[in-house]
Amino acid sequence: MSQVPFTILWGNLSDRIAHRKYFLVGSFLATGLSIIAIALAHDLLTYFWLNVVEGLASAASAPIGTMLLLETRHKRWWPTDIGLFGLISGLGTTIGLALGFVWLFVIGINQSTIAVMTGLLILSGVLALVGAGVAWAWIEEPSTRIARASVADLVNLHRGVVERLRTVRTRVVGLIDLTRSNAQRLPGKEYLFLAALGIMSVGFDIFYGPFPVFLWQNARFSDAGVFIVYLGSASASTALFFHSGKAVDDHSPKWVFLNSLWARVGLMVLFLWGPLYVLFGLGTPALLAWLTLLNALLGVTWAFISTASTLFLVRLVGRSARGRALGLYNAFAGAGSLIGTLLGGWLYATYGVHFAYSIAAGVVVVGGLFLLPIPYHMFQLPHHTVHRRHLWGSTRATGPPPAAPGKP
């Protein structure tokens, strides 16, 4: 919950202070220190509040990191760049999961769980501090800036959510109002996209919220088995992130987004295919391989959805509204994830996995239907400049590539 409002706050403050690099470095630094403090916590209340602080600190990295990328590259190369950005992020996730698996089930196999987890959290915090040092040394402030506008209207957009979380609203409004600007509202098609994103995020997390419990309780996997299933998804999405950027470049963000979304819904339904659970047997290596494969394919769809959804929104809005749109993107996705996780846990505990996962697939379909009426015109280079694309791909955004006739 702390990440949703502070994703908005940090991005808007970075506009006013005009040094996004410092916010990114500070986010990594504070995240690392928070994780180390979590590892050393001795009671539940302290652990809880340190998690809130960690969420507050890490919230800055998503919008500001994306804005730094967009401000240093021309929009023609955003599909490839965001795909590469996702690839690097996915590599970190995959290596982190693999390292956690080795730490828990190889190095710490004969040690107490608390001691092993404490060491793992400290290692995680130290790596975040190393990331802060690398960011400080290597990242440069962009020569041009894409202005972010306030996203305080999120409070009005999500009336249904806000009414359910009234106590959160009273604390968030004041924080957002500190960074308001007088920017115009986004057109209706952008809000329709964000509504679709929020609905889909709810559906995704109705599925993934209780997913570890499903693997342990229904599939009867060990802790190591749960790790393997998650590692399959991380590895697959990492391998396809760069190619997802190329797919968006060759087709369009909307086409890639929708087709990946329908594939994801089909995979979610396959998790409920009962006969295979009987055929393979609960807790068996065969069932582990099957669910790892399904989750890996979900990871593949996520690589394409993540890249395509970002490019879809960025290319819908005008240049001056891109920062604001990205702030709303992260906030809507975060709010949807929060609601989906809570709802998924309740549905799973009350009605069981079949009902919960069926609802998850249905909600994602509804979100996808919201995307259908949104018009999208693909951005293309003229034919005679395509063969020179690789020359421009290696340059910074000091100047744009040749524009198409009639375009600025």
Per-residue pLDDT tens for 232-267? 888 888 888 777 777 877 788 888 899 999 999 999
Long-range contacts of 156-164 (CB under 8 A, 24+ apart): 157/191, 157/194, 158/198, 158/332, 158/335, 161/335, 161/339
Residue 68 burial class via C-beta count within 10 angstroms: exposed 0-12, middle 13-18, buried 19 and up: buried
Residues 357-385: tens digit of each pLDDT: 999 999 999 999 999 988 765 444 343 44
Q: CATH number of the domain that 327 lies in?
A: 1.20.1250.20
Give me the number of domains the chain comprises: 1
- pLDDT score of 155: 30
What CA–CA distance (Å, rounded) separates 136 from 47?
A: 29
What pLDDT, on the 0 to 100 scale, is given for residue 243?
77
Is residue 381 in a domain?
Answer: no
In a domain, 294, yes or no: yes
Q: Structural domain of residue 282, as residue ranges?
A: 3-376
Q: CB under 8 Å to 224, separation ≥6 — which residues?
A: 101, 104, 105
User: Does residue 276 sit within a domain?
Assistant: yes
For residue 191, what pLDDT is reported?
82
Is residue 54 one of the residues assigned to a domain? yes
The 10 Å Cβ neighbour count of residue 157 is 20
> What pLDDT does 380 receive?
42
Q: Is residue 406 part of a domain?
A: no
Residue 385 lies in a domain: no
Residues lower than pLDDT 70 in the chain:
1-19, 60, 62-67, 69-80, 82-83, 142-188, 317-327, 376-408
Cα–Cα distance measured from residue 5 to residue 10, given in angstroms and rounded to the nearest whole number? 9
Position 199 in a domain? yes
Provide the pLDDT for residue 15: 55
351: in domain: yes
